[in-house]
Amino acid sequence: MFGLFGKKSSAVLGVDISSSSVKLLELSKQGDRYKVESYAVEPLPANAVVEKNITDVEAVGEVLKRVASKSRTSVKQVAVAVSGSAVITKLIQMDGGLNEFEMEDQITLEADQYIPYPLDEVAIDFEVQGPSETNPDQVDVLLAACRKENVDIREDALEIAGLTTRIVDVEAYALERAFDLIEPQLDSQGEELVVAIVDVGATMTTLSVLAEGKTVYTREQIFGGKQLTEEIQRRYGLSLEEAGLAKKQGGLPDDYESEVLMPFREAVVQQVARALQFFFGASQYNAVDYVVLAGGTASIQGLTEMVEEKTGTPTLVANPFADMAVGSRVNASALSNDAPSLMIACGLAMRSFD
């Protein structure tokens, strides 16, 4: 069995390898309160990761080495994630009297019933969810499988950086874990909330809908902040790197706000509205209680107000660190700026405390 769910471990770094950057986060915990011990973000070379698939393992390994050095962490064990679209999950029922090793043997024997790939090409893991509602003698078991190549290439990249893969998680589950830190910021916490988390990355936008804290729907579409960077590059004759910096730091000509940023904001709002419509069409839900914006694009000024107006739903920007202490190695204002894009890294770093 491969550690797609992982077992109890000592501290692990949460490492999120996205299409445009590598994000690293280390947390500690005293009582119920988390503390950010170290964090760093480093951009990736163009096309080193395409639509969440690593295409240049050496380049990603070198960036991982830089990000670990920049964070000044001493932890070498890592929790990393594969995208939801790379993973097959299935809820199965098993005899409640089996121990973990007996379950593992039985799943290995029967896995070809559930997995549409040759078994020597997949990494499989399982997690007991609890007693089955339909049969008291059985338990519900969540089976997760993904192609070994998705796991192996992440291990290889981390190895180049002198890091060890301890846990391979699924992005949707990492996001779900980090949402536990966002929920207290919502007015009607504790109720049976339906919350849409819209993660607008560089090239992909992912909608995850959580009902009572559990993921009930996830969908990826190709759209992201890179479109804004490319428009800045084209209009103002900058390199991609210069355009990316200008997007973050400002200093662009006066027409930027009306001619470039406003149309992009409107495009984001359209994507959010369309993603929600897909969800309503595919589920029994016809409304959500909150929209939470995550990803690097979430911080764009005025975006939350526009999404709230368009969807008629209370909208906020994700900040999983709102109630955390911050260690002396961490630049608190940089962490605050990067917070919406660190949801997955945060959910992964929380695996230290399973």
pLDDT (0 to 100) of residue 190: 62
More confident residue, 214 or 70: 70
Encoded amino acid at 352, one letter? S
**Distances 5 to 143, 206, 253, 288 between C-alpha atoms, Å:** 10, 21, 49, 29
For CATH 3.30.420.40, the residue range(s) in the chain are 13-85+149-227+257-352
- Residues spanned by CATH 3.30.1490.300 within the chain? 86-148
CATH of 13-85+149-227+257-352, one of 3.30.1330.60, 3.10.450.50, 2.60.320.10, 3.30.420.40: 3.30.420.40
The predicted structure's pLDDT at residue 244: 87
Give the tens place of pLDDT for each residue, 294-333: 998 998 989 999 999 999 999 999 999 999 999 999 999 9
Asked if residue 7 has pLDDT above 60, the reply is no
Residue 5: count other Cβ atoms within 10 Å of its Cβ: 18
Q: What are the structure tokens assigned to 292, written together?
A: 């939470």
CATH architecture of 86-148: 2-Layer Sandwich (3.30)
pLDDT at residue 210 above 70?
Answer: yes
Residues above pLDDT 70, as percent of the chain: 97
Confidence of residue 195 (pLDDT cuts 50, 70, 90): very high
| C-alpha distances out from residue 28 to 32, 77, 178, 268, 322, Å | 10, 14, 15, 35, 15
**How far apart (Å, rounded) are the C-alpha atoms in residues 288 and 195?**
6
